[in-house]
Amino acid sequence: MEYFHTWCCMSPKSMRCSFLLSSFLCGQALERQKEYFDCIRNERDELRDELADIKGKSKAGEKHGLVVVPGSIPNGEVEEEPLSSGITLVSQEAAQVLKSAGDGPLDVRLLKLAEEKEELLFQIRKLKHQLEEERQKHAKVDGVFTDGEKMENGTDLSFIEMQRDANRQISEYKFKLSKAEQEITTMELNITRLEAQMARYKVAADNSEKVEDELKAEKRKLQRELRTALDKLEEMEMTNSHLVKRLEKMKANRNALLAQQ
């Protein structure tokens, strides 16, 4: 009210000068606001480009010998917004091992591989036990032949028949023994190869989880910065709209004063 009274008491020339000065200052303020808006928009575009670049790098992993497999969020961390990929990058060899373990989370598939390893070890122990039994039987047959050699050469048909059966059994036992040894060797090689693959996969999984954690942290940071920038932009747009309305009102008052003169 006091300002309005002072305004009314001013001379038309003073009122015009004051109004022109206010208009000039308001115009400068609008120019500064516009420059700040442009900076905010540029920053927002840069953040969007950086976010798109991070997603592109994630997808580019497939071009460098990495394979995408489903992965769980490490350390029980809960995301505000899950990554569109929700994946873990591993080598092609490790992916083949995981594929043989079926579907499911990584922990479940690793547990399944460990169970398969235990099953192979059990089969090896079983074959070794059977091999030992065959050796014991073979030793008994050898004992029979040793006792038989002490007998005089004659027309004992029962001994000849027993010798033939023993020879046949020895041949069968030798064949089974050779086959069992081959199976044990093959299983031991498979277990060694599986353990090496699991060790390499664990190293690759640890590295991929570390990279995934870094990407998630960077994404959250960019999302926070983007939200902050958008909030500032919205606030500045409201301020700009308010200043534009004030400028229009001042222009209308100036035109009214000029019309009165």
The answer to whether 209 and 87 are in contact (CB under 8 A) is: no
Q: Is the pLDDT of residue 83 over 60?
A: no
Share of the chain above pLDDT 70, in %: 57
| Predicted confidence (pLDDT) per residue in 90-116, tens digit | 555 566 666 666 666 666 777 777 777
| Domains identified in the chain and CATH numbers | 2-74+86-260 (1.10.287)
Residue 157 confidence (pLDDT): 67
Rg (CA), the chain: 44
Residues 130, 124: Cα–Cα separation, whole Å: 10
| Predicted confidence (pLDDT) per residue in 42-74, tens digit | 777 778 777 776 666 556 555 545 544 554 434
> Backbone phi, then psi, for 80, in 5-degree steps?
-65, -40
Q: Is the pTM of this model over 0.75?
A: no
| Predicted confidence (pLDDT) per residue in 178-217, tens digit | 888 888 888 888 888 888 888 888 888 888 888 888 888 8
Helical residues (DSSP H) of the chain, grouped into ranges:
2-9, 12-60, 92-100, 106-149, 157-260
Encoded amino acid at 252, one letter: A
Residue 81 confidence (pLDDT): 38
Residues 181, 124: Cα–Cα separation, whole Å: 10
Residue 161 confidence (pLDDT): 75
